[in-house]
Chain A
């Protein structure tokens, strides 16, 4: 089955710790995205990548980093510089920028 997978479903982070959220797609999509969802707010774009080895900051990139070494994978690292990391993180992909985005199941990050 083609789709987007995110792991883990739940992730706990200790203060000062970096954590990496996984996002994999087998849809052969060029574009991939990371969003953050907080209660009572719309999704906000963290980073996006239009093509392998290229990525751009979104609206709330501070405290996050990404890589796009393979077309299928777009991991997101939440660094210790992100002071309020508790949120629901969604990964998405599309054939190209401007096309319909397909979303993964999400990862819920909690700070201990």
Chain B
């Protein structure tokens, strides 16, 4: 069993829809990261969380340490949000990555 599980693996939405991507992990962590990977391959760090909730523009990330679960929400989704979203957890300075969620937002 992977230490980091993401769901769904693939997600297709219509422009304007509210998106939720989930991440569950099985180890104790010091922080959780949400990353975005565009089709060209480059990766951008979106959030680093150790508790609670963070918001940046239309993106919201939450984490529940007790339940070992995090969610990434996108409000008013747009085709430019189409990308792979990756959850990674930090434990003892090491990052363990989920397999990613492929999001496609259609106009």
Bound pair: A and B? yes
Binding site for B on A (CB under 8 A): 40-45, 88, 90, 92, 97-98, 100-106, 108
A90 to B43, CA, bound (A): 9
Interchain CB contact (< 8 A) of B40 among A44, A100, A101, A105:
A105
Q: Kindly list 19 other residue pairs between chains A and B, CB separation below 8 angstroms, not including A44-B97, A101-B95.
A: A40-B99, A42-B88, A42-B97, A43-B95, A45-B94, A88-B41, A92-B43, A98-B90, A98-B93, A100-B33, A100-B45, A100-B48, A101-B33, A102-B45, A103-B35, A103-B42, A103-B44, A103-B45, A104-B42
11 contacts between A and B (CB under 8 A): A42-B4, A42-B88, A42-B97, A42-B99, A43-B95, A45-B94, A45-B95, A98-B31, A100-B33, A104-B42, A105-B41
Interface residues on B, range: 20 to 34
Closest 7 CB pairs of A and B: A42-B97, A103-B43, A106-B41, A43-B97, A105-B42, A97-B93, A42-B99
Nearest to B48 among chain A residues (CB) is A100
Number of A-B contacts (CB under 8 A): 47
> Given the complex, which residues of B lie within 8 Å of A41, measured CB to CB?
99
Interchain CB contact (< 8 A) of B86 among A43, A100, A102, A105:
A43
A40 to B10, CA, bound (A): 11
Interchain CB contact (< 8 A) of A42 among B30, B42, B100:
B100
Contact with A along B25-36 (1 / 0, CB 8 A): 000001101010
A73 to B98, CA, bound (A): 27
> Given the complex, which residues of A lie within 8 Å of B86, measured CB to CB?
42-43
Does B7 interact with chain A (Cβ within 8 Å)?
no
> Given the complex, which residues of B lie within 8 Å of A42, measured CB to CB?
2, 4, 86, 88, 96-100
> Given the complex, which residues of B lie within 8 Å of A40, measured CB to CB?
99
> Given the complex, which residues of B lie within 8 Å of A108, measured CB to CB?
41
> Given the complex, which residues of A lie within 8 Å of B40, measured CB to CB?
105
A3 to B72, CA, bound (A): 26
Q: How far is the CB of B49 from chain A (nearest CB, A)?
A: 11
A91 to B95, CA, bound (A): 14
Nearest to B2 among chain A residues (CB) is A42
